[in-house]
């Protein structure tokens, strides 16, 4: 079977399950991973035969795509802020919106030296590791409730050649943080149960629920807990950054004011939605 014939088969197998452009993208990504082919290489080698071994690799990925498993989990890796990251079912797949949060923080602190940063709910470590890479003169600590996620994050720190202190901690039961910090950042669970109807199957069926969802009754649970801990663990002029649920930006502002925070700034993401907050005491 030629590469072109196999692509036609691959496309027909996923037709109706994904949009046509996304199916093309899947094939391009898998071709780069399995064949080391660029998009131009695919065109130039369309009539070339594809080996049985490579067909099996594609077939395995195809079956997982039929079950709506994210392509990042299939390959075991993704990219965030221009850096490679390992991911699996124990970690969320980093989102472009989170890159915007990281970019904001780097812009605010590009000349930082001897600052201490805490990332709460680190997951794959994407925020902590990107900050450590871009701001080499800061000290970064990252915590997560999941031992499995922390194992992935530790591998990612090694992969990207940075030092981050990783600690296992349940932020909802914590009475204190490891020390005082100049920056505390978190992208905690914030998707309400009522919003699940808007989620795609690749998220619903495969990404870790504990890192995504909160109850409809108390959707700011994690934010409030972190804000309360930060009150006694932010250094003078320290900053608290959050990625937030776009539907709850007003509620977030009100909660932070109630907890004693001032100079609250909300920023929109690339889609024009309220997505990030910065505040201080």
Please report the pLDDT score of residue 11 as a whole number. Answer: 97
Please report the pLDDT score of residue 203 as a whole number. Answer: 82
Please report the pLDDT score of residue 56 as a whole number. Answer: 96
Q: Are 182 and 119 in contact (CB under 8 A)?
A: no
Q: Are 125 and 147 in contact (CB under 8 A)?
A: no
Q: Is 233 left (phi over 0), alpha (psi -120 to 50) or beta?
A: alpha
Cα 109 to Cα 223: distance, rounded to the nearest angstrom:
23
Query: What is the pTM assigned to this prediction?
Result: 0.93
> Residue 247 gets which letter from DSSP?
G
Q: What is the mean pLDDT of the chain?
A: 95
149: Cα within 13 Å, side-chain hemisphere? 26
> Which pair of structure tokens corresponds to residue 116?
């201490």
> Residue 2 gets which letter from DSSP?
B
Please report the pLDDT score of residue 119 as a whole number. Answer: 98
Print burial letters for 139-167: b (CB count within 10 Å at least 16), e (below 16).
bbbbbbbbeebbebbeebbeebebebebe
Q: Are 83 and 132 in contact (CB under 8 A)?
A: no
Per-10-residue mean pLDDT, the chain, length 281: 95 95 96 94 92 96 96 96 96 95 96 92 98 95 97 98 97 95 96 85 82 91 97 95 96 97 95 97 93
Please, which residues bridge with residue 193 across strands? none
| DSSP assignment string, 248-265 | GHHHHHHHHHHTT-EEEE
| DSSP assignment string, 163-223 | --EEEE--TTT-SS-SS-EEEEEE----EEGGGGGGS-HHHHTTS-GGGTEE-SS-TTHHH
Cα 99 to Cα 96: distance, rounded to the nearest angstrom:
5
């Amino acid at each position: 079977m030629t590469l072109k014939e196999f692509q036609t088969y691959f496309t027909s197998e996923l037709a109706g399950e994904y949009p046509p452009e996304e199916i093309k993208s899947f094939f391009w990504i898998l071709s780069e991973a399995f064949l080391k082919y660029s998009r131009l290489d695919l065109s130039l080698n369309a009539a070339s035969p594809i080996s049985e071994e490579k067909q099996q690799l594609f077939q395995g990925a195809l079956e997982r795509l039929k079950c709506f498993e994210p392509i990042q989990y299939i390959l075991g890796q993704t990219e965030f802020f221009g850096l490679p990251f390992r991911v699996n079912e124990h970690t969320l797949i980093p989102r472009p919106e989170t890159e915007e949060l990281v970019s904001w923080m780097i812009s605010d602190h590009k000349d930082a030296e001897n600052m201490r940063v805490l990332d709460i709910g680190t997951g794959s470590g994407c925020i902590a590791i990107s900050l450590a890479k871009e701001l080499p003169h800061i000290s970064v600590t990252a915590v997560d409730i999941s031992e499995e996620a922390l194992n992935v994050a530790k591998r990612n720190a090694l992969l990207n050649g940075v030092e981050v202190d990783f600690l296992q901690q349940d932020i909802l039961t914590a009475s204190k943080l490891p020390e005082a910090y100049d920056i505390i950042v978190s992208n905690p669970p914030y998707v309400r149960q009522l919003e699940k109807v808007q989620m795609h199957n690749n998220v619903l069926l495969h990404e870790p629920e504990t890192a995504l969802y909160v109850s409809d009754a108390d959707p700011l649970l994690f934010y409030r807990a972190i804000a309360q801990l930060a009150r006694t663990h932010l250094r003078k002029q320290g900053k608290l950054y959050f990625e937030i649920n776009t539907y709850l930006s007003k509620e977030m502002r009100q909660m932070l004011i109630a907890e004693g925070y001032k100079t609250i700034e909300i920023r929109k993401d690339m889609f024009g939605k309220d997505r990030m907050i910065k505040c201080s005491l």
